[in-house]
Structure 1
Amino acid sequence: MTQIINSLAEISSRYDALFVDLWGCLHNGVTAYPDAVQAMQTYRAGGGTVVLVTNSPKPRVGVAAQLGQFGVPKDAYDSIATSGDSARAAMFRGAVGEKVYFMGEWERDEGFFAPMNVIENPVDITRVPLDEATGIVCCGPFDPMADPSVNRADFLYAKQKGMKLLCANPDIVVDRGDTREWCAGALARLYTEMGGESLYFGKPHPPIYDLARRRLAALGKDVGEAGILAIGDGIGTDIAGAMGENLDSLFITGGLAASETTNGDQPDPKLLEAYFEREMTSPTYTIGHLR
């Protein structure tokens, strides 16, 4: 059974590095959580390394800029690994062909198509209408409030043409302030359910953890599995991914699962037990909010 803790400091000395989720942990999509920021600063001041591991479809430079807008200072983390960078690398290696149908908000996601100098002989990617495409690049829905089923007709056509859907953000939903929105993962799930093939690169899938470990190595940190703690509020992404990678995990109940697990500032043990039983999982540790 999971251990409920009151602060990260109770366990942080056991780990050399943290893989930390963003939405629902460090910020709510609008503003930073001061206690969470302070916890990261304190951990780093004690010699720990913080890699932010996010299912954002943005390149890491875009995430860093967004964090600044939300009020997360640069001294709260050491590096960033995004599902966007992992998925971009696959796209430029030709995972969905050269002519792609883009799904998302172009003003927000334009950076996804920025060149990656680390890719040798990258594919020349062109955005085209669906009927000219060899594959789909999905950074999110066109309308995050619309039910994913509005895409059924397009997905049926794409499936019949044998197109693969590259999912840059496996999250199903996200809370932007008090508003819950659909994410790219919901569209990829629908496409898979309809018989199409979806390619995933964020949590809980291995590519983003490989990227996070490479970010650690680039910092000169040689940290094994036992020295890494994964932190997040997504039971099917952050916690499932950590378990798949054999990493200890800290589940934040005050995020996506707040209504099912949390009374006030901390998880309710009975609600938590029932929730974990339904989800058939058990994180190493649990806390209401990162602090």
Structure 2
Amino acid sequence: MPSIITNFTEISDQYDVAFVDLWGCMHNGITAFADAVTAMQDYRKRGGVVVLVTNSPRPWDSVAKQISGMGVADDAWDAIATSGDSARAAMFRGIVGEKVYFMGEMPRDEDFFKPLSISENPVEIQRVPLDQAEGIVCCGPFDTQADLDVNRADFLYAKTKGLKLLCANPDIIVDRGESREWCAGALAALYTEMGGESLYFGKPHPPIYDLARRRYAALTAAVPEPRIIAIGDGIRTDILGGQMEDIDTLFITGGLAAQETKTDQSPDEIALSTYLKKEKVTPTHSIGFLR
């Protein structure tokens, strides 16, 4: 059972750097959580480093603009590592071919195809209809609230052709304000369930943590062996990912699991224990909301 804390300051001096989730932790998809922003500002003032680690399929600079518009202050973070950047690097190396069938929302996801500087010669990506594709690039559903089964016919065809699906966001669901939406991870899970091959680059998978460490190391004050804590509300992304990386975790129970953990200001201890046993994931610490 993780310790239940009421304020990040209770444990923050144990860590050099925080890998902090965005959606459900720093904002709700519409507006920033003021207490979370203040908590990260205060942590940085005390010498901590904040790397925002997000399963957003967008490049980091697009995410920076987006969260600034929501009210996440620039002085609340030092660097951003996105699932999108990890996935884009793989795409431009040709991991799913040059001709790709794109799934997502345009023009919102247009930045995913922006040129990317990588050490190898990048392939020239072409977006084509499914029947001409060598692979699938998935940033999310065409309609985030539609029944996922509408994709079964296309996925059956793609599986039969042996197409790989590059998943730019492993999240299954997110809450945008009071509305719950499907993410790319739900489509990737469906494709895998149907016998297709899905490739993941965000939490809880290793590539995004490698990117986050490299973003941290690029900062002038970075130490060689930092004490890291991963913070987020996704038990099978943020917390499982941190556990798999052998780093401490802080579970925000008032996000996706607010109902299951009976979180008001803090989680109900019995409900939290029951939820964690069901998920078979154990965070180091837990808190109702980041503050």
TM-score, normalized by length of structure 2? 0.98
User: Displacement, 1:119?
Assistant: 4.0
Output the CA distance in 2 between the equivalents of 1:280 and 1:139.
Answer: 28
The answer to whether the aligner puts 1:140 opposite 2:140 as a matched pair is: yes
Cα displacement (A) at 1:120: 2.4
Give the drift of 1:77: 0.1
Q: Which amino acid aligns with 2:124?
A: D
Instruction: Specify the SS of the correspondent of 1:174.
Output: strand
Letter in 2 for 1:10: E
For 1:24-173, list aligned pairs within 5 A. Answer: 24-173=24-173
The alignment covers a number of residue pairs equal to 290
CA distance in 2, matches of 1:172, 1:83: 14
CA distance in 2: counterparts of 1:78 and 1:257, whole angstroms: 28
Distance in 1 between the 2:39 and 2:69 partners?
19
Q: Which amino acid aligns with 1:8?
A: F
The answer as to whether partners of 1:89 and 1:119 remain within 8 angstroms in 2 is: no
Tell which deviates more after alignment, 175-184 or 260-269. 260-269
Hey, what does 2:223 align to over in structure 1? 222
Match of 1:189 in 2: 189
Instruction: State the percentage of identical aligned residues.
Output: 68
1:32–1:70 Cα contact (<8 Å) kept: yes
Equivalent-residue separation in structure 1 for 2:33 and 2:263 (angstroms): 19
Aligned residue type for 1:203: K
2-structure distance, mates of 1:25, 1:283: 15
Q: Distance in 2 between the 1:57 and 1:72 partners?
A: 19
Q: Does 1:21 align with 2:21?
A: yes
Q: Is the 8 A contact 1:16 1:223 kept in 2?
A: no
| TM-fit CA distance, 1:223 | 4.6
1:149 CA displacement: 1.3
- Distance of 1:53 and 1:273 partners within structure 2: 26
Cα offsets for 1:209-256 (capped at 9, x unmatched): 00000000111313536x000000000000000000000000000000
* AA aligned opposite 1:232: G
Unaligned runs of 5+ in 1: none
Q: Distance in 2 between matches of 1:248 and 1:262?
A: 23
**Letter matched to residue 100 of structure 1:** V
Instruction: Tell me the residue number matched to 1:249.
Output: 249
Report the counterpart of residue 202 of structure 2 in structure 1: 202
Shift of 1:263: 3.5
C-alpha spacing 1:223/1:285, structure 2 compared with 1 (3 Å): farther
Distance of 1:80 and 1:192 partners within structure 2 = 29
Q: Contact 2:253/2:263 (CA < 8 Å) preserved in 1?
A: no
Q: Deviations over 1:161-204 (max 9, x none)?
A: 00000000000000000000000000000000000000000000
Q: Please name the residue that 1:177 is paired with.
A: 177
C-alpha deviations, 1:250-272, integer Å up to 9, x for none?
00000000000034211000000
Q: Does 1:7 align with 2:7?
A: yes
Q: What amino acid sits opposite 2:225 in the alignment? A: G
How many angstroms does 1:64 deviate by?
0.2
1-structure distance, mates of 2:224, 2:35: 26
Deviation at 1:106, TM superposition (A): 1.5
Question: In the aligned structure 1, how far is the partner of 2:76 from the partner of 2:4?
Answer: 24
Give the TM-score normalised by structure 1. 0.98
Aligned to 1:233: 233
Contact 1:171 1:186 in 2 (8 A): yes
Structure 1 counterpart SS, 2:259: helix
Kept in 2, the 8 Å contact 1:2–1:285? The answer is: yes
CA contact (8 A) 1:156 1:194 kept: yes
Q: How does 1:256-271 map to 2 (within 5 A)?
A: 256-271=256-271
Partner deviation per Cα, 1:98-132 (whole Å, 9 max, x = no partner): 00000000211000000002342000000000000
